[in-house]
A = this chain, B = another copy of it.
Amino acid sequence: MFIIVGERINTSRKNVREAVSNRDKTYIQQDVEKQQDSGANYIDVNAGARIGHEAEDMQWLIKVIREVVKIPLCFDSPDPNILKMAYDLVDEPPMINSISLEKERLNRMLPFLKGKNCKIVALCMDDAGLPTSAQDVIDRAEKLVCSLEDIGMQRDAIFIDPLIQPVSTNTSNALTVLDAVQGIMRKFPGVHTICGLSNISYGLPQRKIINRSFLSLLMASGLDAAILDPLDLNLMAVLRTTEMLLGKDDFCARYLKGVRAGKIQA
């Protein structure tokens, strides 16, 4: 089953930032309940936007979110100290977002992850920057998988993010990611692939329409997880129909359930 990481609790979004700043528990709790009801498997929590407040904001968010939802959280920070702090606050195995091949981050994250019960988002980023070809993505994925397996992590816990670059700057950028996802899923059976979709449409108008078609294409290439807004009905309709068309919805059950709930409509 496709794994949905609900992206809405991110202090870079104005409403969330204000709610966090005002400690508006109701706003946050209603939002995450809706995400859970809409099919989110994880709630991403990113408290990075209020400079100097990340630790306390993250702590508060974890507390109020856990009061209302059962699904696990995904801690989203480039700072290993924040991730460690967050990990210790929960019982259900969380997703950690993220590790990368950047030396400093890798060297701080690997010892922390060793022996931990969690999922890990692994970005195909290294100190040279973004990957430059599908093969480059696959090579980086291999290094990430090896590093994580070396410290005892299971493949099922590893979510490789190939990193999407905008199609507006190079019309082959989408194909590169599609090829990379297919390559990773073939070469490392058991590993997951995950994306944030929206970077693909950066610089173009009507971005949501592009993001939607890209989700179908990514799923056809084998992508089995995404960080997205589960309240975006059009995007979720694409997800459920694509899942069904790819033979991953027995008896069309999830699709029909979505239609009956009024969540899949023209």
Contact = CB atoms under 8 A, between A and B. Distances in A.
B178 A241 contact: no
A86 interface: no
Contact of A171 (B175, B210, B252): B252
A122 B265 CA distance: 34
A59 B69 CA distance: 65
A206 interface: yes
Given A206-B264, A209-B266, A216-B217, A175 B241 contact: no
Interface string A242-266: 1011110111100110010000111
A246 to B, nearest CB: 6
A2 interface: no
Nearest to A265: B206
B213 A242 contact: yes
Interface in A174-190: 174-175, 178
Interface in A94-131: none
A54 B144 CA distance: 65
Interface in A222-252: 234, 237-238, 241-242, 244-247, 249-252
Nearest to A250: B171
Contact of A210 (B178, B200, B245, B265): B245
Contacts of A175: 245-247
16 contacts: A167-B245, A167-B252, A174-B244, A174-B245, A175-B246, A175-B247, A178-B220, A204-B256, A205-B256, A205-B259, A206-B237, A209-B265, A209-B266, A212-B241, A216-B217, A216-B242
Interface of A: 167-168, 171-172, 174-175, 178, 200, 204-206, 208-210, 212-214, 216-217, 220-221, 234, 237-238, 241-242, 244-247, 249-252, 255-256, 259, 264-266
